[in-house]
Amino acid sequence: MLEGSAQSYWMASSKSPEYPTLTEDVDVDVAVIGGGIAGISTAWELTRAGRPAIVLEADRIVSGVTGFTTGRLSALHPWVFAPLRDSLGAEAARLYARSQQEAVEHAVQIADKLGIQCDVERRPSYLYVEPVERTGDLKAEAAAVREAGLAASFVTETPLPYDVAGAVKLDEQVQFHPRHYLLGLAEDLVRGGGRIYEQTRVVDLVQGRRHRLTTDAGVTVHAREVVIATLFPVFGRALLDFRLVPLRELVIAAPIAEEDDPGAMFITREDNTRSVRTAPYGEGQRLLLITGESFEPGSGETTERHRTLVEWTRRHFKIGDVHYWWAAQDLDTTDKLPYVGRVDDNLYVATGYARSGMSHGIMSGRLLAGLLTGEEQPWTDLYAPRRKHPIREAGPVLKVGLSHLRRRIADQVRVTRMPVAELKPGTGAVVRMRGRVCAIYRDDHGTPHVLSARCPHSGCLVTFNDAERVWECPCHGCRFAADGSVLQGPATAPLSPEYECMNP
């Protein structure tokens, strides 16, 4: 048993109204696939601009990646500015900085204007290093952040209860409750004439003068413009298959006394990433949220990583019991910029937020709405999904390609031939049986549940995550429940029953 309740604090502390499922064919102006931060922000911006959009969400809105984030809304993204300036030039870095800082301010203004109670708190944001030998690099990054137009400074003292060698500090950033913010936005978009449909999974897209979307219930949506705002784009993936890298991180949340609150947000890429923030949590205390232990989906050892993160937190902060833990998934990109914009005629995408999803998601809403209403943002080209940076991306793209290849080879090796009877309750394994590769999960009552181990997205083998009791695909980050249903795309179909594996 892992310490803490296995649920996101944001999910546990907010209630969403239920939106209907789409049950009849519709013909609309704009359809947005995905009800996370990018989808809801885009649909809201469009609706406000006089083009009411519909949102088609496979599950419940703001309950996928966005419900499992850390809720840091900061323009100080780690280690982005110097590489960006050096590869694409000073103007690109300036546009990046402006687009992110404007996203931060935009969210605060919207929350204020709509009266959304989402615990907005202004805090400094720090990017820090611990070893003295890294301070040279960090000073260069601080200079690049300043050159990009943000009022950052290099400091050697922080309010953290442990020493750091140096930090970049940017004042007046924001932490908030991401679900309260987005659920408020969703309500307003419906008031403004937009529509939201939940439990409405889009399983097919046929491009045309009017795109045709088909849902899992067989309902058809004709739309003049379509925005794909799912984590990994569910369609048109060929464009980005080798440019997106899935990644998971654990989050633990535990109360601390109010006087022990460091009163800022912190991030480091050392120690396999640590991010620190707090949130309101009742009289005299705060909830400390620590994120870290980055790992590839499907690489296992979640239990060990959770233990490491809890031990690290106890060594550094005076926490009580861990109240919550969860995992957040995101996609890094090969040139460190998200892909947001037009991919084809009247078809748009938003993805690749590289662990800075709050400001990127809000920025995406403004950018996409601007494209669709003819009011382009100055940074549209910077984030264009069809951009090509062959020199900057050649190495990372090759690395992703090789790791896919390595995984396909490793898949053959890791398949076990263990007798299913040896599988312990609460665990799962990928087993070769009668020439088939089977994903077998044994529940707490000892009953085996048998599925095909081939991910329906493009055929990699899934692995079992014992801590969360889900099947994960390492290739593009799909996640499936123990019964095979899709928890997270890009797959749109579940793991199929594997009849050859039945009756083991």
Instruction: List residues binding ligand FES (CB under 6 A).
Output: 455, 457-460, 473, 475-478, 490
First and final C-alpha spacing in the chain? 28
Give me the residues paired with residue 166 across strands. 129
DSSP 335-362: TSS-EEEEEETTEEEEE--TT-HHHHHH
Closest-CA residue to 134 (of 117, 148, 154):
154
Q: Which of 52, 1, 2 is nearest to 308 (CA)?
A: 2
CB nearer to ligand FES: pick between 292 and 477: 477
Q: Least CB distance from residue 476 to ligand FES, whole Å? A: 3
Nearer to ligand FES (CB atom), residue 214 or residue 458: 458
Tell me the C-alpha distance between 180 and 280, whole Å: 13
Helix or strand run (H / E) with residue 143:
helix 135-147
Give the residue with the Cβ less far from ligand FES, 144 or 486.
486
Residue 319 beta carbon to ligand FES: minimum distance, rounded to whole angstroms: 35
Q: How far is the CB of 245 from ligand FES (least distance, A)?
A: 12
Cα–Cα distance measured from residue 262 to residue 161, given in angstroms and rounded to the nearest whole number: 8
CB of 331 to ligand FES, least distance (A): 11
Question: Residue 336 corresponds to which tokens in the numbers above?
Answer: 């460190």
Alpha carbons 181 and 114: distance in angstroms, whole number: 10
What's the closest the beta carbon of residue 157 comes to ligand FES, in angstroms? 44
Could you tell me the maximum CA-CA distance found in the chain, to the nearest angstrom? 65
Query: Residue 40 carries which side chain, given as an amino acid letter?
Result: I
Minimum CB distance to ligand FES, residue 388 (Å):
23
The DSSP bridge partners found for residue 31 are 54, 226
Enter the tokens of residue 3: 């310490």
- Rounded to a whole number of angstroms, the minimum distance from the CB of residue 293 to ligand FES is 21
Closest CB to ligand FES among 427 and 458?
A: 458
If the CB atoms of residues 110 and 244 are measured against ligand FES, the closer one turns out to be 244
Strand runs (DSSP E) across 388-447, as ranges?
427-433, 436-442
Cis peptide leading into residue 456 (ω within 30°):
no
